[in-house]
């Protein structure tokens, strides 16, 4: 038996983590067990759209926990009905299936597309996805992802995914054949380093998929729920996808995800889909409280404005330090560092009490709370400025 010598040892070692242990959060700040405060521009990986420990979530959790935690997914419950209705009212979709994680929602989207192929498209099952895409860590969603590091893992993969290139319609056209049932993509490839699709590409893709009778699936697990300044990213391009998945921000920090489909695409039959915790009232009540806040036009406008402010400040910082472009939308932005210094910057930022993410060695990703203030953005920029100055000095030393 493995001898546990340190509390960290009781957890499977699935990623390199710093030895910091967080014990408290409030808004844009986190505290570790030594009382050190950190400004958080990761926010649970674009999850905590209202920041850490918002009262509205704490109240929703406490109120629902006193009322009903779960009656079993074999029965309706009031909270999931309310949240489903709210999502349907706020989007172009007609029906919702709730899940517990983004990967599970995407797994559901893949199953739904295959079901649609079986029922309505002559058994078509292939889904065109994109190089660099990330859809989760179940076997099917890893297979759907276009992440290089996944390629040698857990073979054989789930078949039926062909990879096109982002913003390259011809590369999608080339892959369409009689077995194709859907095209699935992230409107902004987050994990790959924040690579946005153009609105034109999404519009052309919608037209192409319609022309070929294919479903268009948008994975809005990272871009949905206000992250890009609109409630859902597809609104920027003015398109109507057939299927959308949500995760991360929809629960504001609790495990909740959703699979949404138009009436045409919503074709699951009894026995096709389910799960013990899916649509449980505790998480759905929290999701409803979060959605009520985030979907307020004034909240979305403030988030979009904060995104523009952050973008402008990052551009100034890039100009000062000779860095590359700022890309992304709303409060999902990346700064191109031009050199593989991302991990070093992240480590120095942690020391300085700032949480940053480097999804690729040459990029930093910024995904603060959607209610982040200008003061907090200015504080982050100031800290990053100091770190970049030190890095620049270090780079000049032979």
* Active-site annotation, residues: 134, 219, 248
* Binding segment toward ligand PLP, per CB under 6 A, in 60-68, 96-104, 338-346, 361-369: 96-104
DSSP codes joined into one string, 48-111 = -TT-BS-HHHHHHHHHHHHH-S---TTS--HHHHHHHHHHHHHSS-SEEEEESSHHHHHHHHHH
221 contacts ligand PLP (rule: CB under 6 A): yes
Residue 322 CA to residue 338 CA, distance in Å, equals 9
* Binding segment toward ligand PLP, per CB under 6 A, in 155-163, 218-226, 227-235, 344-352: 218-226
User: Pseudo-torsion of CA 370, 373, 377, 380, nearest 10°?
Assistant: -100
Q: Please say which residue, 214 or 218, places its beta carbon nearer to ligand PLP.
A: 218
For residue 48, the minimal CB distance to ligand PLP (Å) is 13
Q: How many CA atoms lie within 13 A of 23 on its CB side?
A: 8
Q: Please say which residue, 60 or 221, places its beta carbon nearer to ligand PLP.
A: 221
* Binding segment toward ligand PLP, per CB under 6 A, in 68-76, 134-142, 313-321, 354-362: 134-142
247 contacts ligand PLP (rule: CB under 6 A): yes
Q: Which of 222, 228, 278, 348 touches ligand PLP by CB under 6 A?
A: 222
Q: Which of 40, 107, 219, 311 touches ligand PLP by CB under 6 A?
A: 219
Q: Which residues contact 228 (CB under 8 A, 6 or more apart)?
A: 187, 188, 236, 307, 328, 329, 330, 331, 332
Q: Please say which residue, 256 or 345, places its beta carbon nearer to ligand PLP.
A: 256
Q: Which of 51, 136, 251, 307 touches ligand PLP by CB under 6 A?
A: 136
Q: What share of the chain is helix, strand, coil (3-state, %, to 5)?
A: 40, 20, 40
How far from 142 is each of 125, 145, 191, 201, 243, CA to CA, in Å?
Answer: 17, 5, 13, 24, 19
Residue 371 CA to residue 333 CA, distance in Å, equals 15
How far from 90 is each of 130, 222, 257, 333, CA to CA, in Å?
Answer: 28, 18, 16, 25
CA 50, 51, 54 angle in degrees (round to 5)?
A: 70
Residue 42 CA to residue 30 CA, distance in Å, equals 11
Q: Which residues inside 28-47 make contact with ligand PLP, applying CB under 6 A?
A: 45
103 contacts ligand PLP (rule: CB under 6 A): yes
Q: Please say which residue, 221 or 326, places its beta carbon nearer to ligand PLP.
A: 221
Over the window 142 to 171, marking each residue x when it contacts ligand PLP by CB under 6 A and - when it does not, the resulting string is: ------------------------------
Q: Please say which residue, 117 or 190, places its beta carbon nearer to ligand PLP.
A: 190
- Chain position whose Cβ is nearest to ligand PLP: 102
Size of interface with ligand PLP, in residues (CB under 6 A): 15
106 contacts ligand PLP (rule: CB under 6 A): yes
Name residue 243's beta-bridge partners: 217, 261
218 contacts ligand PLP (rule: CB under 6 A): no
Q: Which of 191, 311, 362, 376 touches ligand PLP by CB under 6 A?
A: 191
190 contacts ligand PLP (rule: CB under 6 A): yes
Q: Please say which residue, 197 or 348, places its beta carbon nearer to ligand PLP.
A: 197
Query: Which of 172, 66, 75 has the alpha carbon at shortest distance from 126?
Result: 172
**Inter-axis angle of helices 374-396 and 297-321, nearest 10:** 20
117 contacts ligand PLP (rule: CB under 6 A): no
Q: Which two tokens stand for residue 389?
A: 């100055």
DSSP codes joined into one string, 322-345 = T---EEEETTEEEEE-SSS-HHHH
Q: Please say which residue, 246 or 289, places its beta carbon nearer to ligand PLP.
A: 246
102 contacts ligand PLP (rule: CB under 6 A): yes
For residue 99, the minimal CB distance to ligand PLP (Å) is 9
Q: Which of 115, 135, 236, 365 touches ligand PLP by CB under 6 A?
A: 135
Q: Which residues inside 291-350 make contact with ligand PLP, applying CB under 6 A?
A: none
186 contacts ligand PLP (rule: CB under 6 A): yes
Q: Please say which residue, 253 or 383, places its beta carbon nearer to ligand PLP.
A: 253
**Interface positions with ligand PLP (CB under 6 A):** 45, 101-103, 106, 134-136, 186, 190-191, 219, 221-222, 247
């Amino acid at each position: 038996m493995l001898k546990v010598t340190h509390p960290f040892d009781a957890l499977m070692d699935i990623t390199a983590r710093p030895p910091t242990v967080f014990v408290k959060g409030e808004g844009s700040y986190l505290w570790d067990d030594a009382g050190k405060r950190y400004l958080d521009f990761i926010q649970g990986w674009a999850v905590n759209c209202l920041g850490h420990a918002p009262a509205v979530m704490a109240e929703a959790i406490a109120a629902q926990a006193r009322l009903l935690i779960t009656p079993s997914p074999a029965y309706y419950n009031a909270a999931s009905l309310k949240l489903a209705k709210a999502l349907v009212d706020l989007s172009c979709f007609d029906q919702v299936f709730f899940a517990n994680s983004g990967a599970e929602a995407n797994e559901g989207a893949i199953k739904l597309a295959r079901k649609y192929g079986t029922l309505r498209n002559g058994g078509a099952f292939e889904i065109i996805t994109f190089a660099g895409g990330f859809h989760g860590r179940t076997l099917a969603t890893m297979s759907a992802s276009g992440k290089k590091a996944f390629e040698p893992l857990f073979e054989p993969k789930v078949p039926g995914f062909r990879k096109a290139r982002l913003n390259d319609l011809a590369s999608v056209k080339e892959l369409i054949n009689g077995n194709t049932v859907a095209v699935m993509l992230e409107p902004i490839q987050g994990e790959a380093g924040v690579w946005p699709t153009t609105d034109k590409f999404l519009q052309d893709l919608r037209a192409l998929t319609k022309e070929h009778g294919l479903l268009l699936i948008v994975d809005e697990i990272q871009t949905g729920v206000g992250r890009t300044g609109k409630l859902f990213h597809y609104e920027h391009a003015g398109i109507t996808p057939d299927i959308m998945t949500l995760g991360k921000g929809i629960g504001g920090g609790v495990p909740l995800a959703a699979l949404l489909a138009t009436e045409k695409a919503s074709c699951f039959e009894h026995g096709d889909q389910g799960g013990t915790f899916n649509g449980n009232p505790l998480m759905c009540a929290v999701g409803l409280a979060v959605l009520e806040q985030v979907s307020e036009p004034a909240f979305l406008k403030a988030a979009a404005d904060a995104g523009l402010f952050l973008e402008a400040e990052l551009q100034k910082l890039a100009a000062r330090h000779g860095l590359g472009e700022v890309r992304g939308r709303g409060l999902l932005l990346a700064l191109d560092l031009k050199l593989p210094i991302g991990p070093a910057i992240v480590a120095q930022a942690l020391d300085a009490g700032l949480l940053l993410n480097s999804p690729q060695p040459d990029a930093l990703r910024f995904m603060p709370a959607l209610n982040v203030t200008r003061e907090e953005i200015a504080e982050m920029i100031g800290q990053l400025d100091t770190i970049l100055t030190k890095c620049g000095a270090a780079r000049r030393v032979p």
